[in-house]
Amino acid sequence: MAVRLKKSFIKLLEEDKEFRYTVAGYLGLSEILRRLDRFESNMERLWENQNKLWEEVKMLREGQERLWDNANKLWEEVRQLREGQNRLWEGQEKLWEEVRDIRVTLNRVAVTLDRLTISVEEEGLSFIRHRLKTDLGVEIRLERLFVDSREVNVYGVSDDLCVVGEAAVRLGTGLVDELLDKIAFMRARRPELLRPKIIKVIYTDYATPDALEYAREKGVWVLKWSGDLTPFEIEQP
C-alpha cells in the first residue's frame, strides 16, 4: 500500500504542475520553483536570441566574404588594367622610337637631297656661265636670286641681256611652268630685274620627253653636262 502511494505521489509530482507547486509550497520551495521556471524560460529566450545572433553573424560573414571576393576581383581588374597600361606605354615608347628613327632618316635624306640640290645648282651655274662665254662671248655673273619669297636658282644680267633659269636633278613639265611663272612674277613685281633680251634656261641631269617637248615649245633652253637637250634661244622684245 505504501509503495503504491509513493508511486502515485511521484507521478503526480511529475505530471501535475499545480500539485507540484502545492507540495513545494508546503515545503517552502514554491517561490524557488517559480524562479527556476522563469529562469528556464529566460534561458530559452536567451538561446533563441543567441541563435539569431549567430545566424546574423553567419550572414555578416557571408556578406563580408562576398565583399572580399568583389574586392579581389576589383584588384584583379586594376592589376590587368595596369598591365594593359604598361603594355600601352611600352608600345607608345617603341612607336616614338620608330618615329625618331624615321625623323633621323628623313633628316639624313633631306640633308643628302639638299647637298645634291646645291651641287646641281652650283654645277648648273658653272656650265651655263661657261656656255654663255664660249657661245656668245659674254661673261655674266650668275647667282641665286630671291624675288620676295620666291627663289630663282640662276640669275644674271649684262647690258640688255638677262638670264633667268632653274637647276634640278629631274626635269618635268611642272618645272618649266614654274620657271615661266617666276618670269611673269618678276615682270609684274620687279620689272627692273629683267632686260629686253631674256635667256630662259634649265640645267638638269634627267628630263622626260614630255618636258623637253614642252620646253622647246616655250623657248626654254635645256642643257646638261654632256650638251644641249633643247636649242639655245634668246627671247627678243
Domains and CATH numbers, the chain: 123-228 (3.40.1350.10)
User: What per-residue confidence (pLDDT) applies to 78?
Assistant: 82
User: What per-residue confidence (pLDDT) applies to 91?
Assistant: 77
User: What per-residue confidence (pLDDT) applies to 111?
Assistant: 61
To which residue does cell 620657271 refer? Answer: 179
User: What per-residue confidence (pLDDT) applies to 237?
Assistant: 74
How many Å apart are CA 51 and CA 74, to the nearest integer?
34
How many Å apart are CA 86 and CA 188, to the nearest integer?
61
Q: Please, are residues 132 and 163 in contact by the beta-carbon 8 Å criterion?
A: yes
User: What per-residue confidence (pLDDT) applies to 9?
Assistant: 65
To which residue does cell 618635268 refer? Answer: 172
**Block means of pLDDT (10 residues each) for the chain, length 237 residues?**
68 70 64 65 76 81 82 84 83 80 76 63 92 91 91 94 95 96 94 95 95 96 94 89
The pTM is what? 0.53
User: What per-residue confidence (pLDDT) applies to 37?
Assistant: 66
**Strand arrangement of the beta sheet that strand 197-207 belongs to:** 143-147, 150-158, 161-171, 197-207, 221-224, 227-228
